[in-house]
A and B are shown apart, each in its own frame.
Chain A
């Protein structure tokens, strides 16, 4: 039995190909069952998002891939010639590693992004409901979730913000603790400012004020955020009850002066203020940052924070890769423990050695036997061994398709004192066997 992943992602395929090959979420049961009925495929699971399609298989051997590609081309109405160059195939340990990396966000466009784990979990549920999961993929997916979870909690890969607007929220949280109950003001309009405000609102900001030179624009934007529009002349007074200020006007000069804020601070009882100046040229006097309990970040500062965070995530990703590597090895061990054939081979080999040795010994003590008799004795012992082994072999082969396979194999190895990891299978599976075709 071999674990395979056939797929494509944002790196291997452009959007127009990904669109064609994506499986709509609500009708994925059909394709799942169809794939499972393909020749040589025992179990399968399909992860389909806007960035990737991954088909995870437990198949008898690599041959199943060709059949699957044929199915994909036919199902989506794409030419093999158009499809094949964008597909990648991972086999055995590399397939396990790939799945672990995908679920942990290590293979994502934004390193460490959390949504993909939810999407893999959904894919797992669809496959389970469609009945296309068996012993191996069930176990693989459960393991995948626990690996992804520990990557998330034990490394900093998902800790820090990697977009300017999220960086603003992250900073606000480090200043105000919970942003709930705080107020925010946006001055002017602009995509980045509005996005930051949107994130702030969803993190629990109590009240939003909107100021704009054109009052009608302020009213329109205020409606969008459920906030209140304020007159541009009243801006400074309103700052008295504002905690977070996002400024992105097109004004050619500074509109918030340090002196004004300094005067304000005493009246605010030194409640902290956080200024986010997204405007170029800047709206807020740089000296505001020198005032106690006031924090000013301009667009460059925020971008520097993001750049630092991205670097931090990359560093954490190395830790995550190491964790994944270790887990892959563990899973491979389990898979190879399921390999019935090597165990049977080992069992037969051992019996044969015992039989041969004992027969030789006995024949040595019976020199008067003719050659024909000797042949007879040898045939007799071989027949006995075969008869005895017949039933155990059959039971092992049956058990290999059940939950208890590992247990049967372990008991067998223990009873007959066979080596723990069957030499075949275990060695090869862990090796690099990724190929792109």
Chain B
């Protein structure tokens, strides 16, 4: 039952992406509207999927990589909707949704059974810590999408070659503000994610910080975004440089999320 819900939401996101891509090509209003509705339906179904998983397991659905990937995908779409409410960038979905789709597709190749939670993780902190960390990262993913669009648009303006995308992409100003807004929401979430993790670590293992690979890489990611936010706020960094740094940050997120789990292992691996 839960896997069917998973597949339905994946299908909805896929259709939505097609809608957004067609909108990019044809500029028909209804295509972007259809894309938004399909994304919304997919999001509701995916929420339902996570609830079903959670109820069945009796804990926050994040006990294995399959669930983690899906929870991350859900967080990204959630962040997308929150930012879209403010910015309404019609082509953003064409870039954000594929990321969620890739995560969900990878998850399908994994073990989908509901695993019992090892005793060390049986705590309310699990839900709080992971939700904060995942949502924080999700906002950074949207910032990444905005940064990519920014760089495309900036290139066209600098080269004075205005391709067919020029009219379809929003202004540099809007894309830059999207990135900034994503950071100002995502950064506190991630910070609290790390803090709650430390508190939980202290109560569960007796130490706030244990240099577990995921902790280390999260810290690296945190520093990248801290530097970006700092540079933006103090010396007024913006535009191309900020966009590139946000893309570097996205690389760090990917590695923290997948690389650490698949290569480095440690306390946070879902095994």
A305 lies within 8 A of B236 (CB):
no
CB distance from B239 to the nearest CB of A (A): 5
Q: Looking at the complex, which of B164-172, B196-204, B260-268 is the stretch in contact with chain A?
A: B164-172
How far apart sit A289 and B173, CA to CA, in the bound complex (Å)?
18
Q: Assess A175 versus B167: contact at CB under 8 Å? Given A269-B235, A272-B239, A301-B160.
A: no
The chain B residue with its CB closest to the CB of A302 is: B160
Which listed residue, B157, B162, B167, B239, touches A270 by the CB 8 Å rule? B239
How far apart sit A293 and B27, CA to CA, in the bound complex (Å)?
28
Chain B residues within an 8 Å CB radius of A404: none
A176 lies within 8 A of B173 (CB):
yes
Which listed residue, A154, A272, A297, touches B28 by the CB 8 Å rule? A154
A292 lies within 8 A of B239 (CB):
yes
Q: Check B153 for interface membership: any CB of A closer than 8 A.
A: yes
Which residues in window 4-42 of B have CB below 8 A to A?
A: 27-29
Q: Check A385 for interface membership: any CB of B closer than 8 A.
A: no
Which listed residue, B162, B170, B237, B241, touches A305 by the CB 8 Å rule? B162
Chain B residues within an 8 Å CB radius of A159: 167
Which listed residue, B157, B160, B236, touches A175 by the CB 8 Å rule? B157
Q: Check B220 for interface membership: any CB of A closer than 8 A.
A: no
B235 lies within 8 A of A293 (CB):
no
Q: Check A424 for interface membership: any CB of B closer than 8 A.
A: no
Count of A-B contacts judged by CB separation below 8 Å: 59
Which residues in window 151-178 of A have CB below 8 A to B?
A: 153-154, 156, 159-160, 171, 173-178
Which listed residue, B28, B157, B236, B240, touches A174 by the CB 8 Å rule? B157
Chain A residues within an 8 Å CB radius of B86: none
How far apart sit A269 and B238, CA to CA, in the bound complex (Å)?
9
Chain B residues within an 8 Å CB radius of A304: 160
Chain B residues within an 8 Å CB radius of A293: 238-240
A174 lies within 8 A of B158 (CB):
no
A177 lies within 8 A of B174 (CB):
yes
CB distance from B205 to the nearest CB of A (A): 44
A295 lies within 8 A of B238 (CB):
no
Q: Check A266 for interface membership: any CB of B closer than 8 A.
A: yes
CB distance from B3 to the nearest CB of A (A): 40
The chain A residue with its CB closest to the CB of B240 is: A292
Chain A residues within an 8 Å CB radius of B241: 292
Which listed residue, B153, B160, B236, touches A271 by the CB 8 Å rule? B236
Which residues in window 124-170 of B have CB below 8 A to A?
A: 153, 157-158, 160, 162, 166-167, 170
CB distance from A177 to the nearest CB of B (A): 3
B236 lies within 8 A of A269 (CB):
yes
Quick one: CB contact mask for A270-283 with B, threshold 8 Å, 1 for yes?
11100000000000
Q: Check A308 for interface membership: any CB of B closer than 8 A.
A: yes
A305 lies within 8 A of B160 (CB):
yes
How far apart sit A266 and B170, CA to CA, in the bound complex (Å)?
25
How far apart sit A354 and B27, CA to CA, in the bound complex (Å)?
56
Which residues in window 72-90 of B have CB below 8 A to A?
A: none
B237 lies within 8 A of A177 (CB):
no
Which residues in window 277-316 of A have CB below 8 A to B?
A: 289, 292-293, 295, 297, 301, 304-305, 308
Among B167, B170, B241, max chain A CB count under 10 A is at: B167
How far apart sit A271 and B240, CA to CA, in the bound complex (Å)?
12
CB distance from A322 to the nearest CB of B (A): 13
- Residue positions of B touching A, CB distance < 8 A: 27-29, 153, 157-158, 160, 162, 166-167, 170-174, 177, 235-241
- Residue positions of A touching B, CB distance < 8 A: 153-154, 156, 159-160, 171, 173-178, 266, 268-272, 289, 292-293, 295, 297, 301, 304-305, 308
- 5 sample A-B contacts, Cβ–Cβ < 8 Å, listed by A number: A174-B153, A174-B172, A176-B171, A177-B173, A272-B172
Q: A174-B171, A175-B173, A297-B160 are in contact. List 16 more A-B contacts (CB 8 A).
A: A160-B167, A171-B157, A174-B153, A174-B157, A175-B157, A175-B171, A175-B172, A177-B170, A177-B172, A178-B173, A269-B235, A289-B158, A292-B241, A301-B160, A304-B160, A305-B160
